[in-house]
Amino acid sequence: MDLQIALLLGQDGLTNGAIYALLALALVLVFAVTRVIFIPQGEFVAFGALTLASLQAGKLPGTVWLLLALGVLIGVLEGSRAVRAGQLRRLPLIVLLNVGVPLLLAGTLIAVSPATLPLPVQVLLALMLVVPLGPMIYRLAYQPVAEASVLVLLIVSVAVHVALTGLGLLFFGAEGSRTPPFTEVSFAVGDALLQGQTVLVIVASLGLIIALYLFFERTIYGKALRATAMNRTGARLMGISGTLAGMLSFTLAALIGVLSGILISPITTIYYDSGFLIGLKGFVGAIIGGLASYPVAAAGAALVGLLESYSSFWASAFKEVIVFTLIIPVLLWRSLKTTHVEEQ
Amino acid sequence: MSPADHGNERTVVLEVDKLSVSYGKVNALHGISLKVHRGEIVTVIGPNGAGKTTLLCALIGLLPASGDIVYLGERQHGGRSVEQLVRLGMTLVPEKRELFAEMSVADNLLLGAFDRYRAGHRDSLETMEDVFNVFPRLMERREQTAGTLSGGERQMLAMGRALMAKPRLLLLDEPSLGLAPLIIREIFRTITQLKRTGVAILLVEQNARAALQVADYAYVLETGELALEGASRQLASDPRVVASYLGLGGRR
């Protein structure tokens, strides 16, 4: 291996690593706040990328119908609850929010041809279509069992993952899609060529990580999420309900997932089931961070990206094996290093 | 004057009638009736395991209960959630404090006003100044993380955080627990000060002497039932209370 190849692989590894880092952060966030191991995280990557690809191909993405169906379900659920509690004046808002907005979005997509819209608008549309699925799935699948054990929540996650993968096949078909790059520029670094898209992915990821940091450190809602992660009872007594924290963390996780998908789809071909493997690599990063530390999780995910890219050069048949085997020494090291403290 | 009519000049903030709580088949509380008025300190004293913490948890909606709870003139049908009661100005300072250990004192206080922020009030900085006036120690420690505070400071922070919500009814669960006598005196002095702001306080205590000194009215809870009630001064000289809770030192 000469320097040029090493640089090329490093560039590749860091790009993927940046995406894994974003997903690792989302996984840590969701777990810390809701104790949910969010296996469907990867589906948001695939749904985001494929929804954008559908819009660009001039097709109506199937996620519109999912959004509408979930909206109707939640509308019925919340509506009947409001009726039973005698709060009829809440009814119009519930219907408008859960059914009206998705209908409006669907109508807009049918009325204008999204393929002709400029790229930023298409990205915005993809975000509006897929990100709301996060809190909606929380409302329907997780909120009713929010107090259950981690294992039950994990089983729910597996079910949601399988359902979403199936729906992905139905919506987008078995063919993969690739979206055009956001930028065509490239820089020459020595002998190697640095793609503008690669730089964009890394810069955008870092920007998103900084934005997340500021959200958690500076805003009262970010602090409320951290408080829920630290002390659930204490947070409830301040009026920070588990539902609010869950909805908020799932919205963030979905946003991170969709943005990752949109960032990575010009580089890699995304299939309906690609998300799982991408999410799983983010999960390895999150495990390195003990599902608790954000910086260690991000660094671990970047390491996973680099390891993956160099092992694809030396032993491409064992690429995935090497990446996922990393989890064993990490778990060993963590279990030897951490001393378990009794609950007080 | 019948025992239930204490201070009937003022508005009733909380009225509880025949409240019962059970854990499965075990009856933890049975037929509890009590009243708290605006600007009044009411204490519930009793030994370990009498159900004092259970009472407060039931009132704020952390535990399901049967019986009537009328809060601010409104019957709490079918058990309201904690969040709804917090929105209505009920705040609990729990026995275990439940602070956000890895956050700074200032952030802990700020989150005390979370629900007010959500409801559209943007006065948390002014409220924090008020809290710092009540607990100057918290002002000195504002950048420190809550986990590094001493026991007394933690209690102050828990109370300060509760005050950030500008409560109408403050539920205090064993504020003296695990604290040195000097700190206990300071905490109870603060509780007396708070009374002047018009907040109603329901104070649950094992430290009967300190509680009876600051409270206007008192109930004695024993094995899940109210055994005695009366004006604090009367109860403090009641031979049964003296014998069980105050010892000889209470006779002054």
Whether residues B43 and B84 share a domain: the answer is yes
Cα dihedral A98, A100, A103, A109 sign: negative
Whether residues B119 and B2 share a domain: the answer is no
Whether residues B73 and B173 share a domain: the answer is yes
Instruction: State whether residue B194 sits within 8 Å of chain A by CB.
Output: no
Instruction: State whether residue B19 sits within 8 Å of chain A by CB.
Output: no
**Domain count of the fold of chain B:** 2
* Inside any domain, residue B33: yes
Whether residues B136 and B203 share a domain: the answer is no
Q: Of A98, A70, A18, A60, nearest to A259 (Cα)?
A: A18
Q: Which of B97, B101, B111 sits opposite A238 (nearest CB)?
A: B111
Contact A239 B165 (CB under 8 A): yes
* Inside any domain, residue B235: yes
**What is the spatial distance between Cα A297 and Cα A247, in angstroms, rounded to a whole number?**
22
Whether residues B11 and B60 share a domain: the answer is yes
A95 touches A123 (CB < 8 A): no
Q: Which of A223, A227, A241 sits opposite B83 (nearest CB)?
A: A241
Kind and range of the H or E run holding A323: helix A319-325
Alpha carbon A243 to chain centroid distance? 19
Whether residues B115 and B159 share a domain: the answer is yes
Task: Give the structural domain span for B148.
Answer: 98-166
CATH number for position B221: 3.40.50.300
Phi, psi (deg, nearest 5) at residue B54: -55, -40
Gap from B247 CA to chain A (nearest CA, Å) = 32
Whether residues B54 and B118 share a domain: the answer is no
* Inside any domain, residue B191: no
Instruction: State whether residue B111 sits within 8 Å of chain A by CB.
Output: yes
Of B166, B187, B206, the residue at which a domain comes to its end is B166
Whether residues B224 and B174 share a domain: the answer is yes
Q: What is the pLDDT along chain B (252 residues), one digit of tens a residue?
A: 444 455 455 789 999 999 999 988 888 999 999 999 999 999 999 988 899 999 999 999 999 898 989 999 888 776 678 999 999 999 999 999 999 999 999 999 999 999 999 999 999 999 999 999 999 999 999 999 999 999 999 999 999 999 999 999 999 999 999 999 999 999 999 999 999 888 999 999 999 999 999 999 999 999 999 999 999 999 998 888 888 888 755 444
- The tokens describing B238, both together, are 């009641």
Instruction: State whether residue B99 sits within 8 Å of chain A by CB.
Output: yes
Instruction: State whether residue B62 sits within 8 Å of chain A by CB.
Output: yes
Whether residues B73 and B11 share a domain: the answer is yes
**Single pTM value for the model:** 0.90
Looking at CATH, the fold of the domain delimited by A3-58+113-337 is given as ABC transporter involved in vitamin B12 uptake, BtuC (1.10.3470)
Q: Do the interacting molecules here have an ipTM over 0.95?
A: no
Query: Which chain B residue has its CA at the smallest distance from A232's CA?
Result: B98
pLDDT tens, B25-75?
888 999 999 999 999 999 999 988 899 999 999 999 999 898 989 999 888
**Residue B6: what pLDDT?**
53
Considering only CB atoms, which chain A residues are within 8 Å of B118?
239
Contact A230 B107 (CB under 8 A): no
Contact B82 A241 (CB under 8 A): yes
Whether residues B153 and B172 share a domain: the answer is no
Whether residues B57 and B171 share a domain: the answer is yes
* Inside any domain, residue B30: yes
Gap from A292 CA to chain B (nearest CA, Å) = 13
